[in-house]
Amino acid sequence: MKIIDRYIIRFLIGPFIFGTLLVVFLFLMQFLMLKLDDLLGKGLDNILILKLIALNLPSMFVIAIPMGTLFGSLMAFGNMSSHHEVTVIKASGSGLLRMMQPVLILGILLTGTLFWFNNYVLPESNHKARTLLNDIKRKKPTFLLESGRFSVDLNGYTILARKVDSLSGGLKKVTIYDKTEINGNNIISADSGSINFNSDYSKLVIKLFDGNIHQMKYQDAKDYKVINFEEYTIYQNVNGFSLERTDEDVIKRGNREMGISQMKEVKKELLSQANEKVKSVNNIIDDHLDYLFNKQLDSNSLNIQNDLSDEFKNQLISQRMNAKPTIIKDSIEQYRNSEFNKMDRMMTHFISIVNSEIRQEEDLILKASGFEVEIQKKYSIPVACLLFIFVGCPLGIITRGGNFGMSAAISLGFYIVYWVFLLGGEKLADRGFIMPEISMWIGNIVIGFIGLILTYRVSNESSSIRQSISKLFKR
């Protein structure tokens, strides 16, 4: 590696790391604010919270690294341009593409690494994070008592303590309404006591001292007892106060928790099911059409010998001697109407079945499209790192954006445009309005087109500068 290459890389690394970590920090703050209600007041261990954050960091880095690439290249070439180092390099005969060479090599390595990370590390971390967050959501807030306030957190118990020591769990002047008895109600009063969980948070242990129990029966008001005690212990089973971890292997993975090969298998299965629905619809249509045409009903006349059922024929024969022609005619008309009503009901049922099968087919295709969206996203986001280099390097030279404020503003503007196209394309593809292969690459196409124009413009300026210098020396 030449001196100029090391010099450019040195300028790039610092802003790249800073820009990436800044975006990660912003996403981390957003994550904490959104999940704050699920984390607070549940007595979670700090290690567990840090683990949840660590499991969500990979998804933030995948989003932040393209932004860091743009910010780093913009800052590096902007600094060089503002200190006239770009002019010196151009004067020595090196153009923009030569200056971009080490950055492009770094971008290619970063693209390959991010693709591997996106395909293998990110799905596992997403799955573990979702499982852990679901477990935390199920965990109830830690059981707390407040002085002078009733607590109804325990099923079947209402607890009132006039004074509570929150550190030791000590209680003073305690009244407990025990409604766990089916045939009665107990009121427990004590001078003092304590309340704590056992070691595994599976039971709540309430110890009471110097009190009495008032026992009453619903069926017999006279059956009333008062039991005095010096020490009385209540063991109450509690569910949900401890964090119960779910086996990750039994949780079904979503499309963001799979690698490309897994998603392709699921997509193939979904499309196969959709094809089965198409075949089912065709079979249903064929069966109903065969039935309708084989009936050979004529709306103008009925051939009694061929079209009428045997039961109806026998009915007509038995009535033929005594019935008038008008009665026979009315009977035939009634039969014909009943047949048409039967066919109408069958057609309604037929249409309902076909519509149901078609809706299921469309739903399967949309699900398959959702998996294809995630597959294309795993390709498009890493490639964006390389495309942002073509934007950041020439744009830094043009704007001389070596200061933090200008580089951050330009980077943010381009990044917003990119993510609007990416997220908008994802929504359109999920709804079936556009193909995933197109929707996930629109942002890359726009950024790449802008980058090529900027690179071409700055490269031509380099050529004109070299020509001017050559003419100057010839004179």
pLDDT digits (tens, 9 = 90+) for 183-222: 677 888 999 998 887 776 667 788 899 999 888 876 666 6
The C-alpha atoms of residue 207 and residue 212 are separated, in whole angstroms, by 13
Lowest mean pLDDT among 10-14, 202-206, 451-455: 202-206
Query: Is the model's pLDDT at 387 over the cut of 90?
Result: yes
Higher-pLDDT residue of 395 and 237 is 395
- pLDDT score recorded for residue 239: 65
Query: Is the model's pLDDT at 110 over the cut of 90?
Result: yes
Q: Which three-class secondary structure state does DSSP give residue 72?
A: helix
Query: Is the model's pLDDT at 463 over the cut of 90?
Result: no
Query: Is the model's pLDDT at 116 over the cut of 90?
Result: yes
- pLDDT score recorded for residue 449: 93
The C-alpha atoms of residue 98 and residue 458 are separated, in whole angstroms, by 12
- pLDDT score recorded for residue 398: 85
> Looking up tokens 């010096």, which residue turns up?
230
Q: How many other CB atoms are found less than 10 A from the CB of residue 170?
A: 15
Phi then psi for residue 401, to 5 deg, are: -80, 60
- pLDDT score recorded for residue 470: 42
Confidence of residue 361 (pLDDT cuts 50, 70, 90): confident
Following DSSP, what letter does each residue of 432-446 receive, concatenated? TSS-HHHHTTHHHHH
Rounded to whole angstroms, the maximal C-alpha distance in the chain is 130
CA distance between the termini of the chain: 36
Query: Is the model's pLDDT at 300 over the cut of 80?
Result: no
Q: How large a percentage of the chain has pLDDT more than 90?
A: 21
- pLDDT score recorded for residue 330: 56
The C-alpha atoms of residue 256 and residue 441 are separated, in whole angstroms, by 18
Q: Highest-confidence range of 12-21, 200-209, 299-308, 358-367, by mean pLDDT?
A: 12-21
Higher-pLDDT residue of 53 and 468 is 53
Tell which residue, 271, 259, 254, has the closest CA to residue 377: 259
How confident is the model over 115-128, as a mean pLDDT? 92
Phi then psi for residue 69, to 5 deg, are: -65, -45
β-bridge mates for residue 213, sequence order: 188, 227
- 380 and 443 in contact (C-beta within 8 Å)? yes
- pLDDT score recorded for residue 201: 65
Confidence of residue 337 (pLDDT cuts 50, 70, 90): low
- 41 and 142 in contact (C-beta within 8 Å)? yes
Confidence of residue 306 (pLDDT cuts 50, 70, 90): very low
The C-alpha atoms of residue 416 and residue 422 are separated, in whole angstroms, by 10
- pLDDT score recorded for residue 446: 92
- 446 and 417 in contact (C-beta within 8 Å)? yes
Confidence of residue 472 (pLDDT cuts 50, 70, 90): very low
Higher-pLDDT residue of 165 and 124 is 124
Tell which residue, 165, 167, 190, has the closest CA to residue 177: 190
Query: Is the model's pLDDT at 466 over the cut of 70?
Result: no
Lowest mean pLDDT among 69-78, 238-247, 259-268: 238-247
Higher-pLDDT residue of 32 and 241 is 32
- pLDDT score recorded for residue 251: 75
Q: Which three-class secondary structure state does DSSP give residue 231?
A: strand
Query: Is the model's pLDDT at 66 over the cut of 70?
Result: yes
Tell which residue, 128, 150, 243, has the closest CA to residue 197: 243
- 459 and 95 in contact (C-beta within 8 Å)? yes
Query: Is the model's pLDDT at 243 over the cut of 70?
Result: no
Confidence of residue 331 (pLDDT cuts 50, 70, 90): low
What's the 3-state SS for 377-414? HHHHHHHHHHHHHHHHHHHHHHHCCCCHHHHHHHHHHH
Query: Is the model's pLDDT at 9 over the cut of 90?
Result: no
- pLDDT score recorded for residue 342: 66
What does the mean pLDDT of the chain come to?
79
How confident is the model over 23-35, as a mean pLDDT? 89
Confidence of residue 473 (pLDDT cuts 50, 70, 90): very low
Lowest mean pLDDT among 63-67, 80-84, 463-467: 463-467
Domain map of the chain by residue range?
A: 3-140+380-474, 150-237, 257-372
